[in-house]
Structure 1
């Protein structure tokens, strides 16, 4: 799809969302609680909607890639846990390095890589997501790479709140270490407000009516973790308690 086509589609979505909000204000409809997919990672076009970055952008030495994993589409055993679909999935990978370029020692800390969805412009302003009727962020992921990197992944959310530099963050806790897919559910209430990489002293409720971006980062510099990292990603969505098994829900803990 062309950039113009995507722009017009986003504009139409804003119109539909605004019309739905007007109906809700009039009491004509009950807010839906059913699971909803926000992003999928099954085509190059879908991956093009995401931006990547790492410490190399400012003088570090890590690398970052967000690509289609064509081999996963051919691996029926690996894909069994996501319905066995014969489609590729995204893979976030690279080398996490703690060193920095010559001359920047002591002035810069290395050890960062991440991705997030790009700004989605439309005729009526920026497209955002209203997740206020859902309790959990749902991610379908596959953990790989060097074991030293497994405990340093974080999920990040930016809202259209009053302070644009605020970032809501939660560590990703994995149960599976065998290279297969798992669904991870994180309660929105468990995300922690951060600013400039530090946890904010004032913790306020996330503005869930307008989510601007969702992404994942690997913070090796915080934990001293270095090595080759790899994270398969199939989808990001939202859901509620009645649609997931109690044992699969995110634990009530923060970062």
Structure 2
């Protein structure tokens, strides 16, 4: 999608690129989707209701329905959204839409990259990298505006994942996406499993904060924790009563009362 839906002049395409080898660097280029096109901020004529243009985005198709209703992704067991990308350095946003009460709500997060085109010098072509974003760091928005009060993402019912470009800077853009997946990380910030990434590739600048000193401090804190944490039943036995006796019985019930019997 792009602002062409409201009469704008931006153009966007999502192309599938087969694997190949870079003739200059001999680098193996994996199969990927290429989000590319051109951004234009020109306003359409005879449309006074359109005040802003210059955006483009894509998302996956809906999963459809089953005999039990609509199909969704359940990402609740995971901490991070991982993206294997090669960016031109423009201001992209990652969008997640859930089955929320307000259908136009979208959870967004900036796609920060470190190895993008021009990162070290104007001639730097950029490199593939893995970016990791914590799900709880996404911000709920509506039509591009942050909504208040914020609410936690409904991770059990995710409808779509997508990426948008809304920097409104005229000119071409190009973002290669090798994979998008949900994951958990070990203490060293490495990805659990192998999804076409280099070992120890941390991707996000936030993960560069994982150091040996912090890992040692965390291990020391764990060592100080008590081996056994008493449960609520152990801490308040007079409230729960004795197991199997039903001594919290109601009057006149010699066997005790249990809402589960």
TM-score under structure 1 length normalisation: 0.67
Asked whether the 8 Å contact 1:151–1:172 carries over to 2, the reply is no
Q: 1:98 aligns with which of 23, 34, 41?
A: 41
Q: 2:152 aligns with which of 180, 205, 224?
A: 205
**What is residue 228 of structure 1 aligned with on the other side?**
172
- Offset at residue 143 of structure 1 (A): 1.1
**What is residue 251 of structure 1 aligned with on the other side?**
206
In structure 2, what is the Cα distance between the partners aligned to 1:77 and 1:134? Answer: 39
Which structure is higher in helix share? 1
2:78 counterpart of 1:130: no
Question: CA-atom RMSD, angstroms?
Answer: 2.4
Residues 214, 62 of structure 1: CA spacing in aligned structure 2 closer, same or farther, 3 A cutoff?
Answer: same
2:9 counterpart of 1:61: yes
- Offset at residue 105 of structure 1 (A): 5.8
Structure 2, gaps ≥5 residues long? 117-124, 192-199, 208-261
In structure 1, what is the Cα distance between the partners aligned to 2:141 and 2:32? Answer: 30
- Offset at residue 141 of structure 1 (A): 0.6
Asked whether the 8 Å contact 2:90–2:167 carries over to 1, the reply is no
Residues 74, 251 of structure 1: CA spacing in aligned structure 2 closer, same or farther, 3 A cutoff?
Answer: same
**Cα deviation digits, residues 65-106 of structure 1 (max 9, x gap):** 000224x523388795xxx47x53110000011112222367
**Cα deviation digits, residues 1-26 of structure 1 (max 9, x gap):** xxxxxxxxxxxxxxxxxxxxxxxxxx
Aligned partner of residue 57 in structure 1, secondary structure = helix
For 1:1-255, what aligned pairs fall within 5 Å after superposition?
Answer: 53-70=1-18, 73-75=20-22, 84=28, 88-104=31-47, 107-124=50-67, 125-144=69-88, 150-177=89-116, 178-221=125-168, 225-242=169-186, 243-244=190-191, 245=200, 247-249=202-204, 251=206
Structure 1, gaps ≥5 residues long? 1-52, 145-149
- Offset at residue 164 of structure 1 (A): 1.5
- Offset at residue 207 of structure 1 (A): 0.7
Asked whether the 8 Å contact 2:93–2:111 carries over to 1, the reply is yes
In structure 2, what is the Cα distance between the partners aligned to 1:237 and 1:77? Answer: 30
TM-score under structure 2 length normalisation: 0.65
Asked whether the 8 Å contact 2:76–2:156 carries over to 1, the reply is yes
**Cα deviation digits, residues 126-180 of structure 1 (max 9, x gap):** 2211111111000011113xxxxx3420000001122221100001111012332
Aligned partner of residue 64 in structure 1, secondary structure = strand
Asked which structure has the greater RCO (Cα within 8 Å, sep 6+), the reply is 1
